[in-house]
């Protein structure tokens, strides 16, 4: 999703450059380097958020007894306290790219 939004943002930037010079109205090009730079910035932002999440609040395995399991069986799952915060940050970051793309 981040790569798609980065590419959409670059396309909108190209349209901005095109209509900015609408009096001359000549074809505008975006180089592969500009496209790669925009996509790299988009993906690096996502990587920074995910790395911060894993560094500050990694998932920890927890066990829980359940009535649906046998007596000697435990339910093993991974949990964290701040999961909602980082999911909100990720969605906020994607919403920023979507707003920037429009």
pLDDT tens digit sequence for 29-88: 777 887 788 778 888 888 898 888 888 877 777 777 777 767 777 777 777 777 788 888
Q: Is it the case that residue 10 has pLDDT exceeding 80?
A: no
Q: Is it the case that residue 27 has pLDDT exceeding 70?
A: no
Joined together, the tokens standing for residue 18 give: 């095109």
Element (H, E) at 21: none
CA distance 47 to 72: 40
Do the Cβ atoms of 97 and 4 come closer than 8 Å?
Answer: no
Please state the pTM of the whole predicted model: 0.58
- Tell me the CA distances in angstroms from 71 to 5, 45, 62, 78, 87, one per residue in order: 50, 46, 17, 21, 35
The reported pLDDT for the residue numbered 1 is 67
From first CA to last CA, the distance across the chain in angstroms is 15
- Nearby residues of 33 by Cβ (< 8 Å), 6 or more positions away: none
């Amino acid at each position: 999703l981040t790569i798609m939004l980065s590419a959409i943002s670059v396309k909108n930037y190209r349209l901005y450059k095109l209509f900015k010079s609408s009096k001359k109205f000549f074809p505008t090009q975006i180089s592969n380097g500009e496209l790669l730079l925009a996509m790299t910035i988009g993906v690096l932002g996502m990587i920074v958020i995910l790395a911060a999440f894993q560094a500050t609040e990694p998932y920890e395995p927890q066990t829980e007894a359940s009535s649906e399991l046998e007596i000697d069986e435990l339910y093993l799952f991974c949990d964290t306290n701040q999961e909602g915060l980082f999911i909100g940050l990720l969605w906020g970051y994607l919403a920023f790219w979507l707003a920037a793309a429009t």
